[in-house]
């Protein structure tokens, strides 16, 4: 998870997503850096709009929560909650795959 946070921090600071920059952030945080993971992360982020990916990942749980908040029937609400959890997991899995 530290690798994802390093990428997000660099993105927020509007810094270039390079192996050196990610490694520097991780080392500054006291993380024992795995160079192959850093390399894979940089490769997986090439051409990815991180801001858009983060927006989609954050929007998925919010959109899924809206129907449950309006529900009134307990069995139907439980079924909707299961569907929401599946949708949420899919949204975050997609984002996680971007960050290796």
Answering whether pTM is above 0.75, one says no
Q: Shortest CA distance to 99 belongs to which of 45, 58, 52, 46?
A: 45
How far is the C-alpha of 80 from the C-alpha of 84, rounded, in Å?
A: 6
- pLDDT of the residue at 92: 45
Q: Where does 1-47 sit in CATH, by number? A: 1.10.10.1410
What are the domain boundaries of the chain? 1-47, 49-100
CB 38 within 8 A of CB 19: yes
- pLDDT of the residue at 52: 84
Q: What is the mean pLDDT of each run of 10 residues along the chain (100 residues)?
A: 91 93 96 96 89 76 62 56 49 51
Alpha carbon 1 to its chain's center: 9
Alpha carbon 98 to its chain's center: 8
């Amino acid at each position: 998870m530290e690798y994802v946070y390093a990428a997000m921090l660099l993105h927020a600071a509007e810094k270039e997503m390079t192996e050196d920059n990610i490694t520097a952030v991780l080392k500054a945080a006291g993380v024992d850096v795995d160079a192959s993971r850093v390399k894979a992360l940089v490769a997986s982020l090439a051409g990815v709009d991180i801001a858009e990916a983060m927006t989609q990942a954050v929007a998925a749980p919010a959109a899924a929560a809206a129907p449950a908040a309006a529900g009134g029937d307990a069995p139907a609400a439980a079924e909707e909650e299961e569907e929401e959890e599946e949708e949420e997991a899919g949204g975050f899995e997609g984002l996680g795959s971007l960050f290796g």
